[in-house]
Amino acid sequence: MTVKARREPLLVRRGARFDCVGDGLCCSDIHAVGALTDDDCELLSMISEDAFDRHEGDDAAVLMMRSDTGRCVFWSDQGCAIHSRLGSEMKPSPCIQFPYALTATPVGGRISTQHRCTCRTLGPLPPVTSEEARRCMTDANGELKIEHAVFDEVAWSAEETISFAEYEEREADLLGALLEGKSLMSVLDAEPFPALEGMTWPDVADQLYEFRGPSRAAVASRWFADAIAYLTERRERTEAGRPWADAFERAGERIVDPVRPNQVFGDWLADDLWSMRWTHWGSLAKARAEWATRLAIARRIAGWLDISTPKQDNISAAEAVMIVDVIGTTDPWDEVHRAIRER
């Protein structure tokens, strides 16, 4: 019998929190804001002739960023002009949806979140709710937008495939251990920097160094590359810029009770596990090796940042997670996913 992947009911991971408080990092060149729909482009064209551009290499439309600030053309110190003047429902669909994503499974739609914005990772934030996520993830036809789908069989390792029901039982313990934030490498049960097919880790670093320029995404790529180069070959750092510092300074003012870095890292890892996007690349065992690698990179980056107080330690962990979250969705890192050998 074929088991269908279902959007409903919407399922929220325990411990997930988010509230858009206007730090503005997601409205910057830390990533491309798109792809815009035809309806988005039509509306934006009515507001400004310079609102969007076609992404290099394909025909996908993305919001235009200002050359002087690296922020969306509609962003100012007062926040999003479209949001404030026309209402949140008039914003482009990628802006409305961020940071939510939806994975259809045999028992319903899993809501996950991206961790590249301080509105997701720092300060006291309300729990994610299915009601708010639904509003953000519904398209013009009233349908929930799916990013990924998982069916009844899940690869636990190269040798073992289990039912989704059994996977849920095993996953619950893993999620709990990650959210507890203790001995994360032991929880992942994998060594960072596993053997790669057809490339080496220094090759990966060199490819990430090729992302040049002053954009936040390019700087993040060089931080990530520096961490790989240091951890695998003890090369010296090349990048120290923090063009995203203003967002973290604003978010830092909200912090009342700093959390431990491992809680920040564990929350991010739990979301990646819960999203099940890793099934696109293979087994959970393979995903664990990839997560162990990005965790090692995040810890190295956080150590290079300010860890002078518990509050700064909290902020530095969130900043490191932003970097590994962003670079984890790039084309060079897709190649790494393919190159990691199955376990």
pLDDT band of 55, cuts 50, 70, 90: low
Quick one: pLDDT at residue 343? 78
Q: Does 258 sit behind a cis peptide bond, omega within 30 degrees of 0 on the bond before it? A: no
Interior angle at CA 290, CA 288 and CA 295, nearest 5? 90
- pLDDT one-digit tens code per residue, 126-147: 999 999 999 999 998 999 999 9
Q: Once rounded to an integer, what is the mean pLDDT over residues 254-272?
A: 97
Q: Once rounded to an integer, what is the mean pLDDT over residues 85-94?
A: 90
Q: What is the mean pLDDT of the chain?
A: 94
Model confidence, pTM: 0.95
Q: Once rounded to an integer, what is the mean pLDDT over residues 208-233?
A: 97
* DSSP3 helix / strand / coil % (the chain, rounded to 5): 50, 15, 40
Q: Does 94 sit behind a cis peptide bond, omega within 30 degrees of 0 on the bond before it? A: no
- pLDDT one-digit tens code per residue, 177-201: 999 999 999 999 999 999 999 999 9
- pLDDT one-digit tens code per residue, 6-54: 999 999 999 999 999 989 999 999 999 988 999 999 989 888 888 898 7
pLDDT band of 77, cuts 50, 70, 90: confident
Least confident of 68-77, 222-231, 284-293, 313-322: 68-77
Quick one: pLDDT at residue 49? 81
* Alpha helices per DSSP H over 189-260: 201-209, 216-233, 245-252
Dihedral over Cα of 306, 308, 309, 313: its sign = positive
Evaluate whether 264 touches 323 at the Cβ level (below 8 Å): no
Give me 238's structure tokens. 């090349």
Evaluate whether 113 touches 101 at the Cβ level (below 8 Å): yes
The rounded distance, in Å, linking the Cα atoms of 260 and 184 is 13
CA-closest candidate to residue 328, choices 285, 249, 269 = 269
pLDDT band of 58, cuts 50, 70, 90: low
Distances 190 to 136, 255, 332 between C-alpha atoms, Å: 35, 33, 22
Distances 310 to 181, 252, 306, 307 between C-alpha atoms, Å: 16, 11, 10, 7
